[in-house]
Amino acid sequence: MNVPRMVGRSVINRTVQVLLVSAVLSGCASAPSSAPTPITSMSQIEGRWEGTITEGFAGPQQFYEITIHPDGSFVAQYGGNWQWGKVTLNDGVASFQVTAPGTSTGSLKYYAGPGKRSLMMNSTFGNWSVQATAVN
**What is the per-residue pLDDT across 53-85, written as a single tens digit (0 to 9) for each?**
999 878 899 999 999 999 999 999 999 999 999
In terms of DSSP bridges, do strands 128-134 and 118-123 run parallel, antiparallel, or are they unpaired?
antiparallel
CATH architecture of the domain with residue range 42-134: Beta Barrel (2.40)
Per the DSSP assignment, residues forming a β-bridge with 108 are: 94, 121
Residue spans per domain, the chain? 1-30, 42-134
Task: With CA atoms as reference, report the closest residue to 115 among 133, 130, 136, 94.
Answer: 133
**What is the per-residue pLDDT across 82-116, written as a single tens digit (0 to 9) for each?**
999 999 999 999 999 999 888 899 999 999 988 89
pLDDT band at residue 51 under the 50/70/90 scheme: very high
Q: Any residues with CB less than 8 A from the CB of 40 and at least 6 apart, and which? A: 89, 92
Better-predicted residue by pLDDT, 26 or 107: 107
Residue 4 DSSP SS3: helix
